[in-house]
Protein backbone atom coordinates (compact mmCIF):
# COMPACT_ATOMS: atom_id res chain seq x y z
CA UNK A 1 0.00 0.00 0.00
CA UNK A 2 1.43 3.33 -1.00
CA UNK A 3 -0.82 5.69 0.85
CA UNK A 4 -2.22 5.80 4.32
CA UNK A 5 -4.21 8.18 6.40
CA UNK A 6 -2.19 9.48 9.35
CA UNK A 7 -5.06 8.61 11.59
CA UNK A 8 -4.63 4.83 11.05
CA UNK A 9 -5.50 2.10 8.50
CA UNK A 10 -2.76 -0.09 7.18
CA UNK A 11 -4.38 -1.39 3.98
CA UNK A 12 -5.86 0.07 0.84
CA UNK A 13 -9.44 -1.02 1.50
CA UNK A 14 -9.44 0.43 5.00
CA UNK A 15 -7.62 3.46 3.74
CA UNK A 16 -10.44 4.23 1.33
CA UNK A 17 -13.05 3.78 4.03
CA UNK A 18 -11.06 5.89 6.39
CA UNK A 19 -10.53 8.62 3.82
CA UNK A 20 -14.19 8.72 3.00
CA UNK A 21 -15.46 8.77 6.53
CA UNK A 22 -12.90 11.35 7.62
CA UNK A 23 -13.00 13.39 4.45
CA UNK A 24 -13.37 16.69 6.27
CA UNK A 25 -10.04 16.15 7.93
CA UNK A 26 -8.13 16.13 4.68
CA UNK A 27 -7.15 19.63 3.73
CA UNK A 28 -4.92 21.23 1.18
CA UNK A 29 -3.11 24.29 2.43
CA UNK A 30 -1.13 26.59 0.15
CA UNK A 31 2.37 26.97 1.51
CA UNK A 32 5.15 29.36 0.69
CA UNK A 33 7.93 26.85 1.31
CA UNK A 34 8.51 23.10 1.38
CA UNK A 35 9.75 21.37 4.50
CA UNK A 36 12.51 19.36 2.84
CA UNK A 37 13.69 17.88 6.15
CA UNK A 38 10.44 15.90 6.31
CA UNK A 39 11.39 14.05 3.07
CA UNK A 40 8.18 15.22 1.42
CA UNK A 41 6.44 13.31 -1.33
CA UNK A 42 6.12 15.79 -4.19
CA UNK A 43 3.56 15.53 -6.96
CA UNK A 44 3.58 17.95 -9.88
CA UNK A 45 0.34 18.80 -11.70
CA UNK A 46 0.68 20.02 -15.28
CA UNK A 47 -1.43 20.23 -18.43
CA UNK A 48 -3.36 22.67 -20.56
CA UNK A 49 -5.36 25.47 -19.03
CA UNK A 50 -8.82 24.56 -17.73
CA UNK A 51 -8.16 20.83 -17.61
CA UNK A 52 -8.90 20.53 -13.86
CA UNK A 53 -5.54 20.69 -12.07
CA UNK A 54 -6.72 23.13 -9.42
CA UNK A 55 -10.10 21.41 -9.23
CA UNK A 56 -8.34 18.14 -8.38
CA UNK A 57 -6.66 19.79 -5.38
CA UNK A 58 -9.82 21.66 -4.40
CA UNK A 59 -11.90 18.50 -4.40
CA UNK A 60 -9.32 16.60 -2.35
CA UNK A 61 -9.51 19.34 0.21
CA UNK A 62 -13.27 18.95 0.46
CA UNK A 63 -13.71 22.59 -0.45
CA UNK A 64 -12.67 24.39 -3.57
CA UNK A 65 -10.61 27.04 -1.74
CA UNK A 66 -11.34 29.32 -4.68
CA UNK A 67 -8.31 27.97 -6.54
CA UNK A 68 -10.03 26.59 -9.60
CA UNK A 69 -11.67 28.96 -11.96
CA UNK A 70 -15.34 29.14 -12.69
CA UNK A 71 -14.99 30.97 -15.94
CA UNK A 72 -13.22 29.88 -19.06
CA UNK A 73 -10.34 32.32 -18.57
CA UNK A 74 -7.06 30.82 -17.44
CA UNK A 75 -6.76 31.10 -13.71
CA UNK A 76 -3.67 29.75 -11.96
CA UNK A 77 -0.90 32.25 -12.65
CA UNK A 78 1.90 30.93 -10.46
CA UNK A 79 3.39 27.69 -9.26
CA UNK A 80 1.81 26.97 -5.87
CA UNK A 81 2.48 24.03 -3.54
CA UNK A 82 -0.36 22.66 -1.41
CA UNK A 83 0.46 20.58 1.63
CA UNK A 84 -2.12 17.86 2.19
CA UNK A 85 -2.89 17.38 5.83
CA UNK A 86 -3.89 14.00 7.33
CA UNK A 87 -2.59 12.05 4.36
CA UNK A 88 0.91 10.68 4.08
CA UNK A 89 2.93 8.50 1.77
CA UNK A 90 4.85 6.02 3.90
CA UNK A 91 4.84 8.63 6.63
CA UNK A 92 6.05 11.42 4.36
CA UNK A 93 3.92 14.54 3.96
CA UNK A 94 2.35 14.91 0.52
CA UNK A 95 2.55 18.13 -1.47
CA UNK A 96 0.58 18.73 -4.65
CA UNK A 97 2.26 21.38 -6.77
CA UNK A 98 -0.20 23.29 -8.96
CA UNK A 99 1.05 25.07 -12.08
CA UNK A 100 -0.40 27.55 -14.59
CA UNK A 101 -1.92 25.73 -17.55
CA UNK A 102 -0.36 25.46 -20.97
CA UNK A 103 -2.03 27.02 -24.04
CA UNK A 104 -2.94 30.13 -22.08
CA UNK A 105 -3.05 33.03 -24.54
CA UNK A 106 -1.62 35.37 -21.89
CA UNK A 107 1.15 33.16 -20.55
CA UNK A 108 3.58 31.37 -22.82
CA UNK A 109 4.87 27.88 -22.19
CA UNK A 110 8.34 29.44 -21.96
CA UNK A 111 7.12 31.62 -19.07
CA UNK A 112 5.45 28.67 -17.31
CA UNK A 113 8.58 26.54 -17.59
CA UNK A 114 10.67 29.48 -16.31
CA UNK A 115 8.25 29.92 -13.39
CA UNK A 116 8.53 26.23 -12.51
CA UNK A 117 12.30 26.35 -12.77
CA UNK A 118 12.56 29.36 -10.47
CA UNK A 119 10.04 27.87 -8.01
CA UNK A 120 12.19 24.73 -7.84
CA UNK A 121 15.37 26.79 -7.34
CA UNK A 122 13.84 29.02 -4.67
CA UNK A 123 12.52 25.99 -2.78
CA UNK A 124 15.67 23.90 -3.36
CA UNK A 125 13.49 21.24 -4.95
CA UNK A 126 15.32 19.22 -7.59
CA UNK A 127 12.96 16.29 -8.01
CA UNK A 128 9.33 15.20 -8.13
CA UNK A 129 8.09 11.75 -7.16
CA UNK A 130 5.17 11.71 -9.54
CA UNK A 131 3.72 13.80 -12.35
CA UNK A 132 0.03 14.17 -13.15
CA UNK A 133 -0.66 15.36 -16.68
CA UNK A 134 -4.26 16.60 -17.01
CA UNK A 135 -6.46 16.15 -20.02
CA UNK A 136 -10.20 16.80 -20.50
CA UNK A 137 -11.90 13.68 -21.82
CA UNK A 138 -14.52 15.95 -23.40
CA UNK A 139 -11.94 17.53 -25.75
CA UNK A 140 -12.90 16.09 -29.11
CA UNK A 141 -9.38 15.85 -30.49
CA UNK A 142 -5.81 16.73 -29.76
CA UNK A 143 -4.90 20.00 -31.44
CA UNK A 144 -1.43 20.93 -32.65
CA UNK A 145 -0.88 23.06 -29.58
CA UNK A 146 -1.86 20.10 -27.38
CA UNK A 147 0.79 18.01 -29.07
CA UNK A 148 3.33 20.80 -28.57
CA UNK A 149 2.56 21.08 -24.84
CA UNK A 150 2.89 17.31 -24.46
CA UNK A 151 6.27 17.60 -26.15
CA UNK A 152 7.35 20.38 -23.78
CA UNK A 153 6.14 18.41 -20.78
CA UNK A 154 8.07 15.34 -21.89
CA UNK A 155 11.22 17.26 -22.69
CA UNK A 156 11.21 18.77 -19.20
CA UNK A 157 11.80 15.42 -17.61
CA UNK A 158 13.79 13.73 -20.34
CA UNK A 159 13.52 10.17 -21.57
CA UNK A 160 12.74 7.10 -19.54
CA UNK A 161 10.58 8.91 -17.02
CA UNK A 162 7.14 7.91 -18.25
CA UNK A 163 6.62 5.46 -15.40
CA UNK A 164 6.27 8.39 -13.04
CA UNK A 165 3.60 10.00 -15.21
CA UNK A 166 -0.14 9.50 -14.85
CA UNK A 167 -2.44 11.08 -17.41
CA UNK A 168 -5.47 12.22 -15.40
CA UNK A 169 -8.54 12.55 -17.60
CA UNK A 170 -11.22 14.89 -16.24
CA UNK A 171 -14.85 15.94 -16.80
CA UNK A 172 -16.23 12.40 -16.57
CA UNK A 173 -18.94 13.52 -14.15
CA UNK A 174 -20.34 15.90 -16.77
CA UNK A 175 -21.25 13.01 -19.08
CA UNK A 176 -24.66 11.56 -18.39
CA UNK A 177 -26.14 10.38 -21.67
CA UNK A 178 -25.07 6.81 -22.55
CA UNK A 179 -23.92 8.02 -25.96
CA UNK A 180 -21.64 10.64 -24.36
CA UNK A 181 -20.13 8.05 -22.03
CA UNK A 182 -19.60 5.63 -24.90
CA UNK A 183 -17.79 8.28 -26.94
CA UNK A 184 -15.65 9.28 -23.95
CA UNK A 185 -14.68 5.66 -23.33
CA UNK A 186 -13.71 5.33 -27.00
CA UNK A 187 -11.61 8.50 -26.68
CA UNK A 188 -10.03 7.19 -23.48
CA UNK A 189 -8.84 4.11 -25.40
CA UNK A 190 -7.82 6.14 -28.42
CA UNK A 191 -5.71 8.49 -26.28
CA UNK A 192 -3.79 5.54 -24.87
CA UNK A 193 -3.39 3.75 -28.17
CA UNK A 194 -2.59 6.77 -30.34
CA UNK A 195 -1.78 10.16 -28.88
CA UNK A 196 -0.07 8.98 -25.70
CA UNK A 197 1.11 5.70 -27.21
CA UNK A 198 4.81 6.37 -26.56
CA UNK A 199 4.14 7.32 -22.97
CA UNK A 200 1.99 4.24 -22.36
CA UNK A 201 4.59 1.95 -23.93
CA UNK A 202 7.15 3.41 -21.56
CA UNK A 203 4.92 2.83 -18.54
CA UNK A 204 2.63 5.83 -18.12
CA UNK A 205 -0.79 5.05 -16.69
CA UNK A 206 -4.20 6.62 -17.26
CA UNK A 207 -6.75 7.61 -14.64
CA UNK A 208 -10.32 8.89 -14.60
CA UNK A 209 -11.09 11.81 -12.29
CA UNK A 210 -14.74 11.75 -11.23
CA UNK A 211 -14.75 15.15 -9.54
CA UNK A 212 -15.02 13.69 -6.03
CA UNK A 213 -12.67 13.42 -3.10
CA UNK A 214 -12.92 9.63 -3.21
CA UNK A 215 -11.81 9.68 -6.82
CA UNK A 216 -8.72 11.76 -6.00
CA UNK A 217 -7.83 9.41 -3.14
CA UNK A 218 -8.24 6.36 -5.38
CA UNK A 219 -6.01 7.91 -8.03
CA UNK A 220 -3.37 8.74 -5.43
CA UNK A 221 -3.57 5.28 -3.88
CA UNK A 222 -3.35 3.51 -7.21
CA UNK A 223 -0.79 5.58 -9.02
CA UNK A 224 1.79 6.56 -6.46
CA UNK A 225 2.88 3.01 -5.79
CA UNK A 226 6.56 2.59 -6.55
CA UNK A 227 7.11 6.25 -7.43
CA UNK A 228 10.66 7.35 -6.92
CA UNK A 229 12.28 10.79 -7.09
CA UNK A 230 12.65 12.03 -10.63
CA UNK A 231 15.21 14.64 -11.66
CA UNK A 232 14.26 17.35 -14.08
CA UNK A 233 16.18 18.43 -17.15
CA UNK A 234 16.64 21.86 -15.56
CA UNK A 235 19.70 20.65 -13.74
CA UNK A 236 21.15 18.92 -16.75
CA UNK A 237 20.78 21.96 -19.01
CA UNK A 238 23.76 24.21 -19.62
CA UNK A 239 23.71 28.00 -19.71
CA UNK A 240 21.62 30.83 -18.44
CA UNK A 241 19.00 31.12 -21.17
CA UNK A 242 16.11 28.77 -21.97
CA UNK A 243 17.64 28.52 -25.48
CA UNK A 244 20.48 26.51 -23.91
CA UNK A 245 18.13 24.03 -22.27
CA UNK A 246 17.37 20.47 -23.29
CA UNK A 247 13.76 21.47 -23.93
CA UNK A 248 14.66 24.55 -26.00
CA UNK A 249 13.37 23.32 -29.36
CA UNK A 250 9.83 22.71 -28.18
CA UNK A 251 9.73 26.07 -26.38
CA UNK A 252 11.01 27.93 -29.41
CA UNK A 253 8.51 26.25 -31.78
CA UNK A 254 5.79 27.27 -29.40
CA UNK A 255 6.94 30.91 -29.25
CA UNK A 256 7.16 31.08 -33.05
CA UNK A 257 3.64 29.67 -33.38
CA UNK A 258 2.36 32.18 -30.84
CA UNK A 259 3.89 35.20 -32.56
CA UNK A 260 2.79 34.07 -36.00
CA UNK A 261 -0.81 33.62 -34.88
CA UNK A 262 -0.75 37.02 -33.10
CA UNK A 263 0.61 38.66 -36.26
CA UNK A 264 -2.28 37.19 -38.26
CA UNK A 265 -4.84 38.35 -35.70
CA UNK A 266 -3.35 41.85 -35.59
CA UNK A 267 -3.45 42.14 -39.37
CA UNK A 268 -7.06 40.99 -39.66
CA UNK A 269 -8.28 43.13 -36.74
CA UNK A 270 -6.51 46.17 -38.22
CA UNK A 271 -8.21 45.48 -41.58
CA UNK A 272 -11.62 45.08 -39.91
CA UNK A 273 -11.14 48.32 -38.01
CA UNK A 274 -10.11 50.12 -41.18
CA UNK A 275 -13.24 48.86 -42.96
CA UNK A 276 -15.44 49.85 -40.00
CA UNK A 277 -13.99 53.39 -40.07
CA UNK A 278 -14.39 53.71 -43.84
CA UNK A 279 -17.96 52.39 -43.77
CA UNK A 280 -18.75 54.68 -40.87
CA UNK A 281 -19.94 51.75 -38.75
CA UNK A 282 -21.35 52.35 -35.27
CA UNK A 283 -19.04 53.75 -32.59
CA UNK A 284 -19.73 50.63 -30.53
CA UNK A 285 -18.30 48.37 -33.20
CA UNK A 286 -15.34 50.67 -33.77
CA UNK A 287 -14.58 50.73 -30.05
CA UNK A 288 -14.81 46.95 -29.76
CA UNK A 289 -12.34 46.55 -32.61
CA UNK A 290 -10.03 49.20 -31.15
CA UNK A 291 -10.04 47.38 -27.80
CA UNK A 292 -9.40 44.04 -29.52
CA UNK A 293 -6.48 45.56 -31.38
CA UNK A 294 -5.01 46.97 -28.15
CA UNK A 295 -5.25 43.59 -26.41
CA UNK A 296 -3.51 41.87 -29.33
CA UNK A 297 -0.75 44.49 -29.32
CA UNK A 298 -0.25 43.93 -25.58
CA UNK A 299 -0.04 40.16 -26.13
CA UNK A 300 2.48 40.77 -28.91
CA UNK A 301 4.62 42.92 -26.63
CA UNK A 302 4.56 40.19 -23.97
CA UNK A 303 5.47 37.52 -26.52
CA UNK A 304 8.31 39.64 -27.92
CA UNK A 305 9.63 39.95 -24.38
CA UNK A 306 9.36 36.16 -24.00
CA UNK A 307 11.25 35.70 -27.26
CA UNK A 308 13.93 38.03 -26.00
CA UNK A 309 14.20 36.23 -22.67
CA UNK A 310 14.40 32.92 -24.48
CA UNK A 311 17.92 34.06 -25.34
CA UNK A 312 18.12 34.68 -29.05
CA UNK A 313 17.44 38.40 -28.79
CA UNK A 314 21.02 39.58 -28.64
CA UNK A 315 22.23 42.69 -26.93
CA UNK A 316 23.23 45.27 -29.51
CA UNK A 317 25.73 46.94 -27.16
CA UNK A 318 27.56 43.66 -26.69
CA UNK A 319 27.56 43.20 -30.43
CA UNK A 320 28.88 46.70 -31.11
CA UNK A 321 31.69 46.21 -28.63
CA UNK A 322 32.63 42.84 -30.05
CA UNK A 323 30.79 41.54 -33.14
CA UNK A 324 32.41 38.12 -32.82
CA UNK A 325 30.50 37.68 -29.55
CA UNK A 326 27.49 36.58 -31.53
CA UNK A 327 29.28 33.52 -32.74
CA UNK A 328 30.72 32.57 -29.39
CA UNK A 329 27.41 33.28 -27.65
CA UNK A 330 25.39 30.97 -29.81
CA UNK A 331 25.82 27.42 -30.89
CA UNK A 332 26.39 27.33 -34.65
CA UNK A 333 24.29 24.18 -34.90
CA UNK A 334 21.22 26.34 -34.35
CA UNK A 335 21.84 28.94 -37.06
CA UNK A 336 18.61 28.19 -38.99
CA UNK A 337 16.52 28.35 -35.80
CA UNK A 338 18.19 31.58 -34.71
CA UNK A 339 17.50 33.16 -38.07
CA UNK A 340 13.86 32.10 -37.95
CA UNK A 341 13.58 33.52 -34.45
CA UNK A 342 15.21 36.85 -35.38
CA UNK A 343 13.14 37.14 -38.55
CA UNK A 344 9.90 36.54 -36.63
CA UNK A 345 10.88 39.29 -34.17
CA UNK A 346 11.90 41.68 -36.97
CA UNK A 347 8.67 41.22 -38.95
CA UNK A 348 6.65 41.70 -35.77
CA UNK A 349 8.42 44.95 -34.90
CA UNK A 350 7.83 46.15 -38.46
CA UNK A 351 4.15 45.27 -38.23
CA UNK A 352 3.83 47.18 -34.96
CA UNK A 353 5.43 50.22 -36.59
CA UNK A 354 2.95 49.98 -39.42
CA UNK A 355 -0.29 49.46 -37.53
CA UNK A 356 0.13 50.72 -33.96
CA UNK A 357 -1.08 54.29 -34.42
CA UNK A 358 -1.41 54.83 -30.67
CA UNK A 359 2.36 54.50 -30.06
CA UNK A 360 4.16 57.77 -29.28
CA UNK A 361 7.35 58.87 -31.03
CA UNK A 362 9.59 57.56 -28.28
CA UNK A 363 8.19 54.02 -28.28
CA UNK A 364 8.20 54.02 -32.09
CA UNK A 365 11.91 54.86 -31.89
CA UNK A 366 12.51 51.92 -29.55
CA UNK A 367 10.59 49.54 -31.85
CA UNK A 368 12.52 50.79 -34.88
CA UNK A 369 15.89 50.28 -33.20
CA UNK A 370 14.89 46.76 -32.15
CA UNK A 371 13.88 46.01 -35.70
CA UNK A 372 17.24 47.31 -36.99
CA UNK A 373 19.07 45.26 -34.36
CA UNK A 374 17.44 42.03 -35.59
CA UNK A 375 18.15 42.91 -39.21
CA UNK A 376 21.81 43.52 -38.42
CA UNK A 377 22.09 40.14 -36.78
CA UNK A 378 20.33 38.50 -39.70
CA UNK A 379 22.81 40.19 -42.04
CA UNK A 380 25.72 38.76 -40.05
CA UNK A 381 24.26 35.27 -40.15
CA UNK A 382 23.18 35.36 -43.74
CA UNK A 383 24.47 38.33 -45.79
CA UNK A 384 22.98 36.98 -49.03
CA UNK A 385 19.41 36.79 -47.87
CA UNK A 386 19.58 39.85 -45.63
CA UNK A 387 21.53 42.73 -47.21
CA UNK A 388 23.00 45.30 -44.84
CA UNK A 389 20.66 48.07 -43.74
CA UNK A 390 23.61 50.54 -43.83
CA UNK A 391 22.62 52.09 -40.53
Ligand X SMILES: Nc1nc2c(ncn2[C@@H]2O[C@H](COP(=O)(O)OP(=O)(O)OP(=O)(O)O)[C@@H](O)[C@H]2O)c(=O)[nH]1
Of 121-129, 158-166, 171-179, 273-281, the segment contacting ligand X by CB under 6 A is 171-179
Q: Which is nearer to ligand X, 65 or 350 (CB)?
A: 65
Q: Is residue 54 at the binding interface for Mg ion, with CB under 5 A as the rule?
A: yes
* Residue from 54, 123, 270, 303 binding ligand X (CB under 6 A): 54
Distance CA 372, CA 349 (A): 9
91 phi-psi bin (left φ>0, alpha ψ -120 to 50, beta other): left
Alpha helices in 224-282 (DSSP H): 233-236, 248-278
Q: Which is nearer to ligand X, 104 or 345 (CB)?
A: 104
Of 65-73, 239-247, 325-333, 373-381, the segment contacting ligand X by CB under 6 A is 65-73
Smallest separation (angstroms) from ligand X to the CB of 59: 8
Distance CA 49, CA 74 (A): 6
Phi, psi of 30 (to 5 degrees): -65, 135
**Contacts of 81 by beta carbon, 8 Å cutoff, 6+ apart:** 30, 31, 34, 95, 96, 97, 98, 123
Q: Is residue 211 at the binding interface for ligand X, with CB under 6 A as the rule?
A: yes
Of 46-54, 192-200, 276-284, 346-354, the segment contacting ligand X by CB under 6 A is 46-54
For residues 79 and 99, the answer to whether their CB atoms sit within 8 Å is yes
Of 14-22, 44-52, 79-87, 269-277, the segment contacting ligand X by CB under 6 A is 44-52
Smallest separation (angstroms) from Mg ion to the CB of 199: 22
Q: Which is nearer to Mg ion, 77 or 388 (CB)?
A: 77
Distance CA 276, CA 270 (A): 10
Q: Is residue 263 at the binding interface for ligand X, with CB under 6 A as the rule?
A: no
Helix (H, G, I), strand (E, B) or coil at 147: helix
Binding-site ranges for ligand X (CB under 6 A): 49-55, 68-70, 74-76, 100-101, 134, 170-171, 173-174, 209, 211
List residues binding Mg ion (CB under 5 A). Answer: 53-54, 75-76
Amino acid sequence: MALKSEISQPNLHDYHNQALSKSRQIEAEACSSIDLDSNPFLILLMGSTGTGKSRFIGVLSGNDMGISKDQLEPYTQDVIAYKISNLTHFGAPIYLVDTPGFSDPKLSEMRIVTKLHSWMSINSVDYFHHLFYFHRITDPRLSGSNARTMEIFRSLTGNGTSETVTVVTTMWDTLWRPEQVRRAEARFNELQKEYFKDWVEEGSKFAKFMNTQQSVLSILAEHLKGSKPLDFNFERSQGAFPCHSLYADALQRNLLERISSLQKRLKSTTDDLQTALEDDESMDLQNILKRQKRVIIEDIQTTLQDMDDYGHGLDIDTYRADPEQIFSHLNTKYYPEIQEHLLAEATTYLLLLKVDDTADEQSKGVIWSRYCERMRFLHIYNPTSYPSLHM
